[in-house]
Amino acid sequence: MSDARSVLHVELEGAARVAGLPVVFGGEVVDGRLRLSGFVGTRTTSLHNLDVLPGAGLGGRVLMQGRPIAVSDYGSARTITHDYDRPVLAEGLASIIAVPVRAGGRCRAVLYGAVRRPVTFGDRVRDALMESGKRLARELSERDELTARLDSLSPGATREELRSVHSELRAIAGALPDPEARRRLYAAAQRLVDLGEGKPVQCPRVRLSARETDVLAQVALGFTNGEVAQRLSLSRETVKAYLGSVMRKLDAHTRHEAVVKARRLMLLP
């Protein structure tokens, strides 16, 4: 499962739980069309990997108008086209609500909630889907920023460029709610460390935690404790505690010495 699908599934599960919906699904907009890729509570595969075109069906209308839209009886609804009746009705869905996920000034995904009988959706359902959509939008925006940073790296990227991207990767990873997406971003950050020249000094007793490395990676770029706290959404006291632990583990007396020793051990790029 890709990072995007993993994050999408987490948000779908959360929306289903908060809204009390039996079926929740959605997908990202790719090349101008919506591709359904995440499902909770479905009984068939009729909707899996379905491409929804702008203006077509409920999701296509949401893509065009950029606002939540609901139908209480999908099969007889006159406010949408019926291009996707076969897969929708094969799943037995009657009432459906769809909300757009906007990031970077455009619709990037659509989340759906559905029930297998005619109902009128209340504010609770709409708000739950919209809150999930906001969180997903933040994830997509962060992924876009990360992709842009990685794309900016030339084959002969300087050490400072690698170090800057490494710190950004760790800052983003530490804020992700999904453990699998977080693990994969940390692994990508480690690949930048592995690009370093030379071999690490053998010191098997030194092991920094993920959060300790996050803090040290920011310190290595020259950020103050207050700036590190803001970048990692931590308190200054927590940052100070992590940094103190790092310095004890590395037997370093200053921040600079801690960074130098961490790089020598290839704990940082």
Q: What is the mean pLDDT of residues 113-127?
A: 95
Domain termination residue (choose one: 102, 136, 170): 136
How far is the C-alpha of 257 from the C-alpha of 269, rounded, in Å?
15
How would residue 149 be classed by pLDDT, with cut points 50, 70 and 90?
Answer: low
Question: Which residue, 1, 6, 26, is CA-closest to 178?
Answer: 6
Instruction: Indicate whether 148 pLDDT > 90.
Output: no
What's 74's DSSP letter? G
176 and 93 within one domain: no
pLDDT value at position 2?
Answer: 47
Structure tokens at 242: 């992590």
Q: What is the mean pLDDT of residues 182-195?
A: 79
Q: What is the mean pLDDT of residues 6-14?
A: 85
How far is the C-alpha of 175 from the C-alpha of 173, rounded, in Å?
5
Does residue 146 lie in a domain region? Answer: no
Percentage of the chain with pLDDT > 70? 90
Structure tokens at 121: 């959706």
Q: Domain of 162?
A: 152-264
Contact 189, 220 (CB under 8 A): no
Name, in order, each residue with C-beta under 8 angstroms of 264's C-beta and a sequence gap of 6 or more. Answer: 200, 201
77 and 182 within one domain: no
How would residue 146 be classed by pLDDT, with cut points 50, 70 and 90?
Answer: low
Name, in order, each residue with C-beta under 8 angstroms of 185's C-beta and a sequence gap of 6 or more. Answer: 3, 146, 169, 170, 172, 173, 176
Instruction: Indicate whether 140 pLDDT > 90.
Output: no
Please give the mean pLDDT across all residues of the chain. Answer: 88
66 and 184 within one domain: no
pLDDT value at position 1?
Answer: 39
Look up the CATH number of the domain holding residue 24. Answer: 3.30.450.40
Look up the CATH number of the domain holding residue 239. Answer: 1.10.10.10
How far is the C-alpha of 3 from the C-alpha of 5, rounded, in Å?
6
161 and 101 within one domain: no
194 and 84 within one domain: no
Domain termination residue (choose one: 108, 136, 164): 136
pLDDT digits (tens, 9 = 90+) for 33-86: 999 999 999 999 999 999 999 999 999 999 999 999 999 999 999 999 999 999
Looking at per-residue confidence, does 119 or 138 come out higher? 119
Does residue 111 lie in a domain region? Answer: yes
pLDDT digits (tens, 9 = 90+) for 198-248: 554 454 478 899 999 999 999 998 899 999 999 999 999 999 999 999 999
Domain termination residue (choose one: 88, 104, 136): 136
In which element (H, E) is residue 49 found?
none
How would residue 90 be classed by pLDDT, with cut points 50, 70 and 90?
Answer: very high
Helices (H), the chain: 3-19, 57-65, 85-90, 123-151, 159-175, 179-194, 210-219, 225-232, 236-250, 255-264
CB atoms within 10 A of CB 258: 25
Does residue 145 lie in a domain region? Answer: no
164 and 131 within one domain: no
Looking at per-residue confidence, does 130 or 176 come out higher? 130
State the total domains in the chain. 2
In which element (H, E) is residue 118 found?
none
113 and 160 within one domain: no
Does residue 247 lie in a domain region? Answer: yes
CA 179 to chain centre: 11
